[in-house]
Amino acid sequence: MSRYYPMKKKAWFLFLLFLVIVAGLVASVTFYLYENLYLEGESGYLEEQILTLQDLYDSGDMEIFEERLNWTIESTPMEAIVSSDPMMLGAAIPLADPEDELVINQIERNRLLNGEVITIMRDHGALNERILGKVAPVMESGYLDAVIILYRPVAEIQTAFYQILPFVVIIGSLFVLLLFIVMKRVQKEFISPITELEHVSKELSKGRFDTPIDIHVENELSDLAVSFKQLADALAQEEEKKRAFIQNISHELRTPLSYIQGYSELLENHCKEQAISTEYATIIHKEAHRMNRLVNQLIDLTKLEKANEDEIEFSPLVLSEIIEDAVRNTALKRQEKQQTIELHLDEELIVNGTEDRLLQIFINLLDNATCYTEPKSHIFVQASKREKSAVVEVRDNGQGISQEQLPFLTERFFRVEKSRSRAEGGVGIGLSIVKQIVDLHHGQLTFDSVEGEGTTVTIELPLYNEM
């Protein structure tokens, strides 16, 4: 069971909640407009008219007063009552006939006696609707002489709302449509891509690195999709390397094990001559040594891939001395192939590093130069200063390497020629180790080669006093 609601459901829930809030706001605004604009406007208009009539009545020109009163009744939805009946004024004032309900209570009558214009709003039984009115007193010698009542029916809130309902529906529909379009856009631009990335991540976790990423937007999520694709490609490459590694290591270990098993059986069951026994024992020893070297290289490579510079003790080292040690350690192989070597070393070059690891670099490079160069050939080694770096070049005049294969030289188990016998070289781990060591020393490893002319390996290491 999911611990949370999916983003898509949350988005639509917020959409519906927003619609409810908007509907509430529309109702509230309608009520506010009714109370504060419609009723106030009508009340103000009534007061303006009744004050005019009150002034005309006070002036004593009843003919002009009657004309104005009739005009007001005929030209507006207002009704008017003018009463000077002492009985009515002494008790209460009905709107129309004596049997109708009284609309002026005692408190309002007292305000009239004080000369105030009062506002009345209440339901009128005879009219069967709500009325809004103004009552103006006419005072004579401090006494209430007459009253002028001006009133009109006013629409209820429902009626007012029904009047503006078409406009509310149109505007609300447009707003909902706009909000729906925005919501669909948000779903397309953000929610759907996130859901797709979640699906892809689950597929990647299952090892399905070829899962397509179906995202067609142009925003940050499209960049994230590209990163996901690059991650999937990198994982797929690593998975392929892992398979190749298992195949290669199985093959590399199977061959010496087959030799050891086969020749040991011959020694045990069939071999009686000392010379043959010695030959078989030599083969067994050689293959066991090769298998041991392979295992040591794998362990070494694994350590280097996980290592960081904090775990390695660096110290100032004279680079020429390390190269000379590597030359001495590899001299026997060159002598067997009658190869010569030429050294041009700057003895003032000092680098910050580990002696064993740097020695491992140059032994590996010199071994490769010897293995892949013809007998009686020449190897050239130069160490010089270039700006703030020490640059070491190891050049041979061997078979050379194609430009297409140069970028793969430091990959594990990569061989330039698959058909080369293992007697001519290692298993394809040496340059991977060299690359890891150079990286740990903040250096650079580059290759330059021309087929049929030879290969140059260049290592650039920071100088000690420049670090």
pLDDT over 60 (residue 1): no
Which three-class secondary structure string do you get for the chain? CCCCCCHHHHHHHHHHHHHHHHHHHHHHHHHHHHHHHHHHHHHHHHHHHHHHHHHHHHHCCHHHHHHHHHHHHHHCCCEEEEECCHHHHHCCCECCCCCCCECCCHHHHHHHHCCCCEEEEEEECCCCEEEEEEEEEEEECCEEEEEEEEEEECCCHHHHHHHHHHHHHHHHHHHHHHHHHHHHHHHHHHHHHHHHHHHHHHHHHCCCCCCCCCCCCCCHHHHHHHHHHHHHHHHHHHHHHHHHHHHHHHHHHHHHHHHHHHHHHHHHHCCCCHHHHHHHHHHHHHHHHHHHHHHHHHHHHHHHHHCCHHHCCCEEEEHHHHHHHHHHHCHHHHHHCCCEEEEEECCCCEEEECHHHHHHHHHHHHHHHHHCCCCCCEEEEEEEEECCEEEEEEEECCCCCCCCCHHHCCCCCCCCCCCCCHHHCCCCCHHHHHHHHHHHCCCEEEEEEECCCEEEEEEEEEEHHHC
- 331 plus 456 within the same structural domain: yes
Total domain count for the chain? 3
Query: Using one digit for the tens of pLDDT, what is the confidence trace for 179-198?
Result: 778 877 777 777 777 777 77
- 323 plus 386 within the same structural domain: yes
- 19 plus 150 within the same structural domain: yes
pLDDT over 50 (residue 421): no
Higher pLDDT, 409 or 293: 409
Judge whether 103 lies within some domain. yes
- 264 plus 367 within the same structural domain: no
- 262 plus 389 within the same structural domain: no
Strands 340-345 and 378-386, bridge-based pairing: parallel
Mean per-residue pLDDT, 446-453? 90
Cα dihedral across residues 15, 16, 21, 22: positive or negative: positive
Judge whether 193 lies within some domain. no
- Predicted local confidence at residue 318, as pLDDT: 94
- Predicted local confidence at residue 306, as pLDDT: 64
Report percent pLDDT > 90 for the chain. 14
Structural domain ending residue among the three candidates 104, 139, 154? 154
- 300 plus 316 within the same structural domain: no
Query: The CATH number of the domain where 323 resides is what?
Result: 3.30.565.10
Query: The CATH number of the domain where 259 resides is what?
Result: 1.10.287.130
Facing residues of 353 across strands?
315
What's the chain's average pLDDT? Answer: 77
Mean per-residue pLDDT, 429-433? 82
pLDDT over 70 (residue 314): yes
- 326 plus 251 within the same structural domain: no
- 230 plus 322 within the same structural domain: no
Which of 34-43, 244-253, 321-330, 448-457 has the weakest average pLDDT? 244-253
Q: How far, in Å, CA of 248 to CA of 428, rounded?
A: 10
- 253 plus 139 within the same structural domain: no
pLDDT over 80 (residue 135): yes
Mean per-residue pLDDT, 135-151? 83
Report residue 303's pLDDT band, with 50, 70 and 90 as the boundaries.
low
Report residue 280's pLDDT band, with 50, 70 and 90 as the boundaries.
low
* Residue 382 structural domain: 312-466
- Predicted local confidence at residue 28, as pLDDT: 73
Residue 112 class from Cβ within 10 Å (0-12 exposed, 13-18 middle, 19+ buried)?
A: buried
pLDDT over 80 (residue 23): no
Closest CA relative to residue 353, chosen from 318, 389, 386: 318
Is pTM beyond 0.95? Reply is: no
Judge whether 170 lies within some domain. no
Query: Using one digit for the tens of pLDDT, what is the confidence trace for 39-98?
Result: 777 788 888 888 888 888 888 888 888 888 888 888 887 888 887 765 555 444 444 444
Which of 17-31, 92-106, 190-204 has the weakest average pLDDT? 92-106
Judge whether 176 lies within some domain. no
Q: How many CA atoms lie within 13 A of 175 on its CB side?
A: 15
- 228 plus 358 within the same structural domain: no
